Amino acid sequence: MAQPPYWFPAKRYGWGWGAPIARQGWAVLLGFNALLSACAFLLPPGVNTLGFVASVFVLCVALLPVCFLKGEPAGWRWGK
């Protein structure tokens, strides 16, 4: 069975990517969610709001290059 060339497909409407279509994409998304959960546990938003927001920002910035490199080309779409 052939691997899809992209891990993340482009969304049908709007800008960005949809749910992963390859196991590598699911692994990246699972790791992102695990790190996000760890940040929420280690830096509770009610106690350390600035630290939590900063860590979420860093995680999102780290996820973007993966999506750009392994996802379909980004662009605004109006459906098929």
Domain boundaries, position 38: 20-70
Say if 7 falls within a structural domain.
no
Say if 79 falls within a structural domain.
no
**What is the model's pLDDT at position 6?**
93
Q: If we measure between CA atoms, which residue out of 31, 32, 36 comes closest to residue 55?
A: 36
Q: How many domains does the chain have?
A: 1
Say if 8 falls within a structural domain.
no
Over the stretch 26-61, which tens digit does the pLDDT of each residue have? 999 999 999 999 999 999 999 999 999 999 999 999
Say if 3 falls within a structural domain.
no
Which helix (DSSP H) or strand (DSSP E) does residue 77 occupy? Answer: strand 77-78
Say if 15 falls within a structural domain.
no
pLDDT of 4 above 80: no
Global pTM value: 0.84
Q: Where are the alpha helices (DSSP H) in the chain?
A: 23-42, 49-70
For the chain, the average pLDDT equals: 92
* Percentage of the chain lying above the pLDDT 90 cut: 81
Say if 1 falls within a structural domain.
no
Confidence of residue 5 (pLDDT cuts 50, 70, 90): confident
